[in-house]
């Protein structure tokens, strides 16, 4: 924060606190012609007379205590512009402390699974429950609480894996993340070319399509797409290129969705969890994910 804004915020805060104190003193001040405390003011309605009764002292002191509390708080904690407070408290510092305390408490729970083989871990009831809790906390937002996925987020309960479904590959995906990119072919192939390739891709998936269009699309596919998806559409886990010869679709399997993928391309990102969760938790999580399909 710049010096100007720091001073501006500090000044406004101090003025407002003083204004609260001044308002209390001003309203409590006896004015000329005002009746003494306990006397009637001369106002009456329906036989009821108004008395000049002051505010209860305990209520008045509550206002003063609030002001003192505000001043003490701003002296100890940040709130006056760039002033950091006498205690030097920061939200990042508190977060780091809480994380450190949580790690000291929970890390031993996951540490005991660190040496266990992922396949065996996927069958361990205690390990599965620990992995399920991690999955629901950190993965369900994208992949669903049951791992069933959504449009643009892979289904983890089938056997269709973009980057390979072996235990260590799953762990690598969670640890290091993945970046997938399907380039846009609309400008290169044109609408007609996109349409023909889309028809051929549907044929690879076992659908009944126009054979003439499919044959024309095959030639385009072999020239432009086979390098990633393989000539038979079996995909390439090394590149994260999906298998096209089944009926599993990450972005939708309708004719329109397939055309859009070819024309506009697709981009997917799986964030890395190495630094966030640590290897022991990722190990347990990988065992759980592997167990979803085994």
Q: Cβ distance 175 to 252 under 8 Å?
A: no
The strand pairing partners of 180, in sequence order, are 268
Instruction: With a cut of 70, list the residues of the chain below it in pLDDT.
Output: none
What is the domain range of residue 193? 180-270
Question: Sign of torsion, CA 183 189 195 196?
Answer: negative
In a domain? residue 186: yes
Q: Are residues 155 and 187 in the same domain?
A: no
What pLDDT sits at residue 27?
84
CATH code of the domain in which 147 resides: 1.10.760.10
Q: Are residues 283 and 170 in the same domain?
A: yes
Q: Are residues 104 and 135 in the same domain?
A: yes
What pLDDT sits at residue 61?
93
Q: Are residues 201 and 262 in the same domain?
A: yes
For 37-59, b where at least 16 C-beta lie within 10 A, e where not — what string?
Answer: eeeeeeeeeeeeeeeeeeeeeee
In a domain? residue 33: no
Q: Are residues 172 and 186 in the same domain?
A: no
What pLDDT sits at residue 237?
94
In a domain? residue 152: yes
Q: Are residues 145 and 157 in the same domain?
A: yes
Q: Are residues 283 and 172 in the same domain?
A: yes
Q: Are residues 165 and 281 in the same domain?
A: yes
Show which of 68, 89, 110 is a domain's final residue. 89
Cβ-based burial of 27 (10 A; exposed 0-12, middle 13-18, buried ≥19)? exposed
What pLDDT sits at residue 266?
96
Q: Are residues 277 and 168 in the same domain?
A: yes
In a domain? residue 39: no
In a domain? residue 242: yes
What pLDDT sits at residue 34?
76
Report the number of distinct structural domains present in the chain: 3
If you search the block for the tokens 């083989």, which residue do you land on? Answer: 117
Q: Are residues 279 and 156 in the same domain?
A: yes
What pLDDT sits at residue 110?
94
In a domain? residue 37: no
């Amino acid at each position: 924060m710049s010096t100007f804004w720091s001073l501006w915020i500090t000044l406004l805060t101090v003025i407002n606190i003083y204004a609260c104190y001044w308002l209390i003193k001003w309203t409590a001040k006896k004015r000329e012609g005002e009746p003494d405390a306990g006397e009637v003011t001369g106002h009456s309605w329906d036989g009821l007379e108004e008395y000049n009764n002051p505010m209860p002292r305990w209520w008045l002191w509550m206002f003063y205590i609030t002001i003192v509390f505000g001043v003490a708080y701003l002296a100890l904690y940040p709130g006056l512009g760039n002033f950091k407070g006498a205690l030097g408290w920061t939200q990042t510092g508190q977060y780091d402390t809480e994380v450190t305390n949580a790690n000291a408490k929970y890390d031993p729970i996951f540490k005991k699974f660190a040496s266990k083989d992922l396949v065996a871990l996927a069958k361990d009831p205690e390990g599965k429950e620990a992995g399920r809790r991690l999955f629901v906390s950190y993965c369900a937002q994208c992949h669903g609480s049951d791992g069933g996925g959504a449009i643009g987020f892979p289904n983890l309960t089938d056997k269709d894996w973009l980057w390979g479904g072996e235990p260590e590959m799953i762990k690598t995906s969670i640890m290091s993340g993945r970046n997938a990119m399907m380039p846009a072919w609309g400008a290169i192939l044109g609408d007609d070319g996109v349409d023909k390739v889309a028809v051929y891709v549907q044929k690879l998936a076992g659908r009944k399509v126009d054979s003439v269009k499919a044959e024309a699309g095959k030639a385009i596919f072999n020239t432009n797409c086979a390098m990633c998806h393989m000539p038979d559409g079996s995909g390439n886990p090394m590149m994260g290129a999906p298998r096209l010869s089944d009926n599993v679709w990450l972005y939708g399997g309708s004719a329109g969705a397939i055309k859009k993928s070819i024309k506009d391309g697709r981009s997917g990102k799986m964030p890395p969890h190495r630094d966030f969760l640590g290897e022991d938790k990722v190990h347990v999580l990988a065992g759980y994910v592997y167990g979803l399909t085994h």
